């Protein structure tokens, strides 16, 4: 790919991890990619940062997964393009060049994984694909961009307060696969048997994208009770695209107490449903405590 003037900003090296549409990547490949990024940072202290290219369909999911599993303060930037390379106005080369510029900028360190497209820098935790076709599809609703990439320099405006990357507790060293977590949406008259079916099929967690600030519909409450009783964790999130399902710190349950299924009910805070799924998958590799997992949703 032609990128004029890239040498002004950095000396890039290239490695192909996979050649698939982003939606075709498996969770095992996500784990392998995070391990590879961590290994590069460990083996080569001279690497200033890493740019990961991805299709945009699931880019926000991959970026948030790396945000929780890359354990380095060095910048990781995920880039993509909305137009096909054969299309007039293809912007992939421009986005890739801007990704290199951000990754090479000393001010990018410690800001977590970033999504760079359309001259804007968004935090992986907050970036959302908001349009199927427009170039300005990746946005951070309510919080604003981290910064911009202009012709003269990279400009940052803020940082993400939630834990990420170097401060993350999620170590994939001994993780070979991620537990199954499904996402179910609330809609008028939604049946609870879909939730029951996910629990019976082996889901270890279910994220419910609820209406309003936590409302379910139809017989979903019955399905949730059934899943909780089977040991499945249920995370409640908002389907609206912004807003919080408020959680609170919990004391750890006494080891001598009888198990309470409601301990596995978790408030998803302001995470989008697909990102709550990622955090829950990683949380379940570390803990089966409702109090501990709720803490993770408050901190990350």
pLDDT at 183: 98
Residue 205's domain comprises 181-299
Let me know whether 162 and 191 are in one domain.
Answer: no
- Region 107-131 average pLDDT: 98
- Which whole number is the average pLDDT over 77-101? 95
Question: 88-102, 145-159, 186-200, 245-259 — which is least confidently predicted?
Answer: 245-259
Same-domain status, 222 and 290 = yes
Reduced to 3 states, what is the DSSP secondary structure of residue 234? strand
Alpha helices in the chain (DSSP H): 27-43, 59-69, 92-104, 193-200, 220-229, 273-284, 290-299
Label residue 171 by pLDDT band (50, 70, 90).
Answer: very high
CA distances from 259 to 20, 41, 196, 230, 264 (A): 44, 42, 20, 11, 10
Q: What are phi and psi of 193, to 5 degrees?
A: -70, -20
Residue 175 falls inside a structural domain: no
User: Which is it for strands 138-139 and 181-185: parallel, antiparallel or unpaired?
Assistant: unpaired
Rounded CA-CA distance 105/155 in Å is 10
pLDDT value, residue 258: 74
Question: Do 79 and 33 sit in the same domain of this protein?
Answer: yes
Q: Tell me the CATH number at 142.
A: 3.40.50.1170
| 87 and 198 both lie in a single domain | no
Is 176 among the domain residues? no
**Over 60: is that where the pLDDT of 20 sits?**
yes
Which residue do the tokens 């008028």 mark? 188
Tell me whether residue 237 is exposed, middle or buried, using C-beta atoms within 10 angstroms of its C-beta: 0 to 12, 13 to 18, 19 or more: buried
Has residue 74 been placed in a domain? Answer: yes
Question: Do 187 and 95 share a structural domain?
Answer: no
My answer on whether 24 and 113 are in the same domain is yes
Backbone phi, psi, residue 161, to 5°: -85, -25
Mapping DSSP to helix (H, G, I), strand (E, B) and coil, where does residue 206 land?
A: strand
Mean pLDDT of 112-130: 98
Task: Answer yes or no: is pLDDT of 172 > 70.
Answer: yes
Q: Is pLDDT of 12 > 60?
A: yes
Predicted pLDDT at 1:
58
The domain boundary, picked from 106, 135, 167, lies at 167
Instruction: Look at the chain and report how many structural domains it folds into.
Output: 2
Residue whose C-alpha is closest to residue 222's, from 240, 234, 205, 239: 234
Domain-located, residue 251: yes
Residue 113, in any domain of the structure: yes
pLDDT at position 252 over 60:
yes
- Does residue 259 carry a pLDDT above 90? no
In a shared domain, residues 163 and 185: no
Cα dihedral sign, 87-89-94-99: negative
User: Are residues 194 and 288 located together in one domain of the fold?
Assistant: yes
Q: Are residues 151 and 119 in the same domain?
A: yes
| 247 and 286 share one domain | yes
In this structure, is residue 1 part of a structural domain? no
Query: Is residue 290's pLDDT more than 70?
Result: yes
Please report the pLDDT score of residue 141 as a whole number.
Answer: 86
20 shares a domain with 125: yes
Q: Looking at the domain assignment, is residue 172 inside a domain?
A: no
Q: Where is the domain boundary, 133, 167, 201?
A: 167
> Above 70 in pLDDT, residue 2?
no
The residue count of the chain comes to 300
Same domain for 271 and 246, yes or no, is: yes
pLDDT in tens, 260-288: 999 999 999 999 999 999 999 999 999 99
pLDDT attached to residue 133: 95
């Amino acid at each position: 790919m032609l990128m004029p003037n890239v040498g002004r900003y950095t000396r890039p090296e290239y490695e192909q991890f996979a050649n698939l549409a982003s939606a075709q990547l498996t969770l095992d490949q996500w784990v392998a990619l995070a391990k590879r990024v961590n290994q590069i940072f460990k083996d080569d202290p001279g690497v200033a940062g890493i740019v990961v290219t991805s299709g945009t369909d699931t880019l926000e999911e991959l970026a948030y997964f790396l945000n929780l599993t890359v354990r380095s303060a060095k910048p990781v930037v995920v880039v993509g393009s909305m137009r096909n390379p054969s299309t007039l106005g293809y912007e992939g080369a421009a986005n890739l060049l801007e990704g290199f510029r951000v990754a090479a900028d000393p001010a990018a360190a410690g800001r977590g994984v970033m999504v760079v497209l359309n001259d804007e820098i968004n935090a992986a935790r907050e970036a959302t694909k908001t349009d199927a076709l427009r170039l300005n599809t990746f946005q951070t609703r309510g919080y604003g961009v981290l910064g911009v990439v202009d012709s003269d320099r990279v400009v940052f405006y803020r940082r993400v307060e939630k834990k990420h990357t170097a401060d993350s507790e999620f170590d994939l060293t001994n993780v070979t696969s991620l537990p199954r977590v499904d996402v179910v949406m609330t809609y008028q008259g939604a049946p609870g048997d879909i939730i029951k079916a996910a629990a019976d099929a082996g889901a270890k967690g279910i994220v419910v994208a609820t209406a309003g600030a936590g409302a379910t519909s139809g017989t979903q409450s019955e399905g949730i009770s059934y899943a909780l009783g089977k040991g499945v964790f249920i995370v409640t999130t908002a389907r609206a695209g912004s807003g919080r399902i408020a959680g609170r710190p919990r004391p750890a349950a006494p080891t001598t107490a009888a198990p309470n299924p409601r301990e596995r009910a978790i408030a998803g805070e302001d995470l989008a449903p697909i990102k709550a799924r990622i955090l829950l998958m990683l949380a379940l590799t570390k803990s089966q405590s409702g109090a501990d997992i709720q803490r993770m949703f408050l901190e990350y």
